[in-house]
C-alpha cells in the first residue's frame, strides 16, 4: 500500500469506533506529511455554522505519536486530542459545537516519529 494512503483505512475504522452520529464533511481526507516537532496547519473543510464537529487524524506506522488541535481565528487552541498513538481525535471527549467553522484551522503535530497523516473533519448528523 502506498505510504500516502496507508492511514486511510485506519481513519475509516476510527470513524466507525468513535464517530457515532457523525459523518465526514469531505469525501476524501486531506493527506499531509509531518516531521517530528514541525506542526502543519490544515483548513477545516466547510461546515454549516452552528454545527458540531470533530477532527480525526491517523498516521502511518512510522509516526508513533500524533496530536491534533483545533485553532480558532485568534490562534487559540479550542480543542485538542492526543491518544498517545498514531491516532488522534479533537476534541478527545466528543464533538465541538462552533458558530463559524470556516474561521478554524487544524494543527497537526508529530510528537514522536514522522510520516504521512490522513486528517478528516466530521460533523454531527
Question: Residue 82's domain is classified under what CATH number?
Answer: 2.60.120.380
**Is 1 a member of any domain?**
no
Rounded mean pLDDT, 18-44: 91
The residues, ordered by sequence, that sit 6+ positions from 119 with a Cβ below 8 Å of its Cβ are 29, 30, 31, 32, 42, 55, 56, 57, 68, 106, 108
**Is 57 a member of any domain?**
yes
Instruction: State residue 101's pLDDT score.
Output: 61
Torsion of CA 33, 36, 41, 43, to 10 degrees: 50
Task: Pick the more confident residue, 12 or 79.
Answer: 79
Rounded mean pLDDT, 80-91: 94
**Is 2 a member of any domain?**
no
Instruction: State residue 1's pLDDT score.
Output: 43
pLDDT above 80 (res 10): yes
Q: Identify which of 43, 125, 57, 45 has the alpha carbon closest to the alpha carbon of residue 91.
A: 57
The total number of structural domains that make up the chain: 1
**Is 3 a member of any domain?**
no
Residue range of the domain that includes 69? 8-124
The residues, ordered by sequence, that sit 6+ positions from 120 with a Cβ below 8 Å of its Cβ are 11, 15, 24, 25, 26, 29, 30, 45, 55, 56, 57
Instruction: State residue 44's pLDDT score.
Output: 85
Amino acid at each position: 500500500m502506498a505510504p500516502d494512503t496507508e492511514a486511510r483505512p485506519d481513519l475509516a475504522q476510527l470513524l466507525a469506533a468513535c464517530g457515532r452520529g457523525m459523518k465526514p464533511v469531505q469525501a476524501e481526507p486531506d493527506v499531509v506529511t509531518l516531521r517530528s516537532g514541525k506542526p502543519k496547519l490544515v483548513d477545516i473543510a466547510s461546515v454549516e455554522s452552528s454545527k458540531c464537529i470533530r477532527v480525526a487524524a491517523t498516521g502511518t506506522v512510522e509516526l508513533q505519536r500524533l496530536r491534533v488541535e483545533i485553532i480558532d481565528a485568534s490562534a487559540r487552541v479550542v480543542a485538542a486530542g492526543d491518544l498517545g498513538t498514531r491516532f488522534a481525535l479533537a476534541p478527545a471527549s466528543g464533538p465541538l459545537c462552533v458558530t463559524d467553522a470556516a474561521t478554524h484551522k487544524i494543527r497537526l503535530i508529530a510528537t514522536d516519529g514522522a510520516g504521512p497523516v490522513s486528517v478528516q473533519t466530521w460533523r454531527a448528523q
